[in-house]
Amino acid sequence: MTSNEKHCPEIDDNPQEEPISCVVAASSEHFTYKTEAKRPWSPKKVLELLEQVYQGYEKLMGSGLDTIIEVRDIVCEPNNHSARTEIKIQVHSAEEFTIESKIICEFPPNYGYIQQEQDLAYHFFAHELFHCWIGGAVANLYEPIVEAITQYMTDLTLVRLGWCSEDLLIHGRVNWQEIIETANLPHTLIAGYKLIFDKMHTNEPERLFAFCRNLADCFRQQRTCMEIEISPVLERYLGVT
């Protein structure tokens, strides 16, 4: 992997002036990465993570989006971190279309200097990337399933690639059970399906991977904002109608 990194010039401290946003940019084969904050992870590290995860997802679910994915790491208020994926498809004809994809992750200043925060940041990057294969408009009934498989496969991939320890899944199982017992919808549904996927991975891993491939095939056919029909896949693998 090659990485081209650009930094903003040094800025003198002046408390009488508004702070100037400093953008650090880097690029790799499938990504451009921009951050406006000093992070404990370098742009090179993020691109290494994304490229490894991209290869893992591609091996599991087939070819990814035929586009360079823009990844933005921006600053947010404390305790307000979030992430989202924006995919825009412009149809030119029955055979021709273009895709634009952007991953936006928001973290507070000075975030990521403890291991738990760093693991969550890595999860955010990898989680949103998974949505480039499985993510889009589906019936509200099915949204918890899509989110559950995304969360579970993201953690599983990060552990398998060595970016996070096995403790991520071990603690996750305990946490999912607690959510089922104490939380409200849709969190209880998401946690429940994550336990189902975890059991499937233990007993029938190839079935879990086939489920991901079939779901990705459904979303790969999306060319409009209309809801994707995934019910046949869910009925086949989960008995959900």
Domain ranges of the chain: 1-114+127-133, 134-241
pLDDT number for residue 226:
73
Q: Locate 30 and state its tokens.
A: 């499938």
pLDDT number for residue 9:
32
Q: Which of 34-38, 61-65, 203-207 has the highest mean pLDDT?
A: 203-207
pLDDT number for residue 22:
58
* pTM for the whole structure: 0.88
Residue 137 pLDDT greater than 90, yes or no: no
Predicted confidence (pLDDT) per residue in 162-211, tens digit: 999 898 899 999 999 999 999 999 999 999 999 999 999 999 999 999 99
Give dist(CA 108, CA 111) in Å, integer.
Answer: 6
The b-or-e profile of 50-69 (16+ CB within 10 A means b, else e) is bbbbbebbeebbeebbeeeb
Contact 41, 24 (CB under 8 A): no
Burial of 238 (0-12, 13-18, 19+ CB in 10 A): middle
Residue 94 pLDDT greater than 80, yes or no: no
pLDDT band at 222 (very low <50, low <70, confident <90, very high): confident
pLDDT band at 18 (very low <50, low <70, confident <90, very high): very low
